[in-house]
Amino acid sequence: MLCSFGNPNTIGNGEKRVSAMATKGKMFAGCTVALVTPFRDGEVDYPALEASVDWQIAQGTPVISPVGTTGESPTLSHEEHERVIAVVVERAAGRAKVLPGTGSNATTEAIRLTKFAARAGADGALLVSPYYNRPTQEGLYAHFARVAESTDFPQMLYNVPARTGRNIDPETVERLSKIAPIVAIKEASGSLDQVSDILARTNLTVLSGDDSLTLPMLAVGAEGVVSVVANIVPRDVSALLSAFERGELAEARRLHARLFPLCRDLLGLAPNPIPLKTALSLLGRGNGEMRLPMLPPDERARESLRRTLVRYGLMSEGA
Domain ranges within the chain, ordered by starting residue = 7-235
Torsion (CA) 141, 143, 149, 150 in degrees, nearest 10: -170
Question: Could you tell me which residue, 16 or 69, shows the higher pLDDT?
Answer: 69
Q: Which of 24, 97, 178, 186 is catalytic?
A: 186
| Weakest mean pLDDT among 27-36, 113-122, 261-270 | 261-270
Q: Can you give the pTM of this predicted structure?
A: 0.92
% of the chain with per-residue pLDDT over 90: 89
Classify residue 296 by its DSSP letter. Answer: P
Is residue 312 flagged as an active site residue? no
**Which residues 6+ apart lie within 8 Å of 78 measured at CB?**
none
What CATH number should be reported for the domain whose range is 7-235?
A: 3.20.20.70
Identify the CA nearest to 102 among candidates 18, 90, 122, 93: 122
pLDDT confidence tier of residue 132, bands split at 50, 70 and 90: very high
- From the candidates 24, 97, 158, 277, give the one annotated as an active-site residue: 158
Sequence-distant (6+) residues with CB within 8 A of 256 are 214, 215, 240
The reply to whether 141 belongs to the active site is no
